[in-house]
Amino acid sequence: MELLDYGARRYDPQIGRFISPDTIIPDPGNPQSFNRYAYVNNNPQRYTDPSGYCIPGETCPEEIDETGGFLPEQEMRKLLDSAGVTLDRGDWTRTKLGTVYEVVSHLSIAMGGPEAFKTKLGGVTIDQQPIRNPGQTIGHNVTLRESGFAEWAAVHELAHVWNNNSGQKLSEGLETFTGGHTDPGAMREFLRAGLNDTALPGCNKAGYFYGDIPPKGSDINFNRSEDFSESVAAYVYPKLAACRSEKSRSKIAVFCAKKEGIKPRFRPKTNSIGAFFNDVASSPTGC
């Protein structure tokens, strides 16, 4: 059975749930509103939700049309501005604007609101350019691929800004938290031993030994900063992370099976990672 497009989110009729959380809590006075995957407060016989945000005439806040229409572009830009996000060069179509808005909303919710997001990231400028990778970040400047980008790429790059604003303390904290370490000379030792499988901990340019298996494995450029950004993306979008980890599961599991006592553990299903991000996301400084 196909997913149903409700504009803001997609709905899975088989499980009776949206596949991503609501970007707002439409009615804080109603405990059902805090179930952000539920459809119309679990009462589909009485209500409808044509926008994917809220129940028209019941829980829709002022910025959403009473008929459940899509959030106007000016309102999305208003939230981005309050979160310290500046959109620069590029053709910001409604789809691309909506993707950035959704990602910033999700991170803001985890952090305690737009002001907290602004404080933790210290402001960010996002532009679009014809780059090869989905995104890249230098300092507080994020560049996304102008031909198209998805939520994962956007939140990954915003996580880099968060880490940069902390002076790399967040990625160092995750490395320590998961029991990892960095040995710059490790790559040479791997090559001397005839090993070049970059899925192995430490087999990368940085010599980064991850403490448990990252959301989608690792590659030659993997380091604690990339691990942090991938883990933030997995924290925000756990279902996407689960799908991505499946792609690397078999390769990594083979390696782990060869090492006595080592079992593959994937971040999206590791509760301790959630505990780490709950702590840093809710702290005043985020580091």
For the segment 184-201, what is each residue's pLDDT rounded down to a tens digit? 888 777 777 776 677 777
Same structural domain, 136 and 149: yes
Same structural domain, 174 and 259: yes
Same structural domain, 202 and 276: yes
Same structural domain, 97 and 144: yes
pLDDT at 165: 96
- Inside any domain, residue 102: yes
Residue 272, Cβ neighbours under 10 Å: how many? 12
Same structural domain, 50 and 100: no
- Inside any domain, residue 287: no
CA distance 103 to 118: 14
- Inside any domain, residue 193: yes
Same structural domain, 108 and 55: no
Contact predicate 41/29, CB 8 Å: no
Same structural domain, 174 and 263: yes
Query: Which of 150, 165, 180 marks a domain boundary?
Result: 165
Query: Which of 165, 198, 218 marks a domain boundary?
Result: 165
Residue 247, judged by CB atoms within 10 A of its CB (0-12, 13-18, 19+), counts as exposed
Q: Is residue 162 helix, strand or coil? A: helix
Same structural domain, 39 and 92: no
- Inside any domain, residue 269: yes
What pLDDT band is residue 281 in, cutting at 50, 70 and 90? low
Tell me the pLDDT tens digit for each residue of 262-273. 443 444 444 455
pLDDT at 196: 66
162 has a pLDDT exceeding 90: yes
Amino acid at 69: G
Q: To the nearest whole number, what is the mean pLDDT of the chain? A: 76
24 has a pLDDT exceeding 70: no
Q: Determine which helix (DSSP H) or strand (DSSP E) holds 172, and give its type and residue range.
A: helix 169-177
What pLDDT band is residue 122 in, cutting at 50, 70 and 90? very high
Query: Which of 53, 70, 87 marks a domain boundary?
Result: 70
Question: How many Cα atoms sit within 13 Å of 181 on the Cβ side?
Answer: 3
pTM exceeds 0.85 for this model: no
pLDDT at 214: 75
pLDDT at 23: 63
In whole angstroms, how far apart are CA 238 and each of 185, 216, 230, 273?
A: 33, 12, 11, 11
54-61 average pLDDT score = 62
pLDDT at 256: 42
- Inside any domain, residue 7: yes
Domain count, the chain: 3
In whole angstroms, how far apart are CA 122 and each of 55, 72, 83, 140?
A: 34, 26, 9, 8
- Inside any domain, residue 94: yes
The most confident of 15-24, 27-36, 163-172, 180-189, by mean pLDDT = 163-172
Task: Label each residue of 57-120 as H, E or C.
Answer: CCCCCCCCCCCCCCCCHHHHHHHHHHCCEEECCCCCCHHHHHHHHHHHHHHHHHHCCHHHHHHH
- In terms of residue numbers, what domain contains 42? 1-70
Same structural domain, 106 and 142: yes
Same structural domain, 157 and 174: no
CA distance 275 to 105: 20
Same structural domain, 145 and 209: no
Same structural domain, 88 and 60: no
